[in-house]
Amino acid sequence: MKEPLNYTELVNRLAYKEGRNETIVLLVGAINARDLAKVTLKPEAREALILGLTHDNAKVRWWSLQLMDHLADESFIPFILPLLNDPIGKVRRHAVHALTCDVCKPDRCGLELSKSIRARITEVAHSDADARVRKEASAAVANWGS
């Protein structure tokens, strides 16, 4: 009999390059953007990804964001928002990206962001310590103007 997947352990394995692609497929059911757009995430995988956002390892936080970005589930928004304050710039930049990038989402349909979230991203565009994070946030703010 096949042992059930331990989704928390799969998320922990995102820290390691070796076997990461296989881990992602086991965790969410797909690896490329086209296939991720069609995934129905299991509740256990969803909860594990949310826990991954608070992992001690920045790579796990980043990869959890990466997957959430392509899954485009608005219920992830409250869990992504705290990462706008992550100590690692690369994680903060990807938190902005996961919240604001329409291109990565199925049918290029972005997340519905409240005025307060847009205001927070605008603040990041002006005040984040990392120029790459400011650039990502500024691009989002500029797109909202169009």
Query: Mean pLDDT for each consecutive 10-residue tract of the chain (146 residues)?
Result: 83 97 95 84 95 98 94 90 98 96 68 89 97 97 80
Domain positions in the chain: 7-144
Residue from 58, 61, 5, 2 nearest 28 by CA: 5
Classify burial at 77, counting beta carbons within 10 Å of its beta carbon; exposed 0-12, middle 13-18, buried 19 or more.
Answer: middle
Calculate the alpha carbon distances from 69 to 18, 38, 66, 127, 131 in Å: 22, 13, 5, 23, 21
The reported pTM is 0.91
Per-residue model confidence (pLDDT) at position 12: 97
User: What CATH topology corresponds to 7-144?
Assistant: Leucine-rich Repeat Variant (1.25.10)
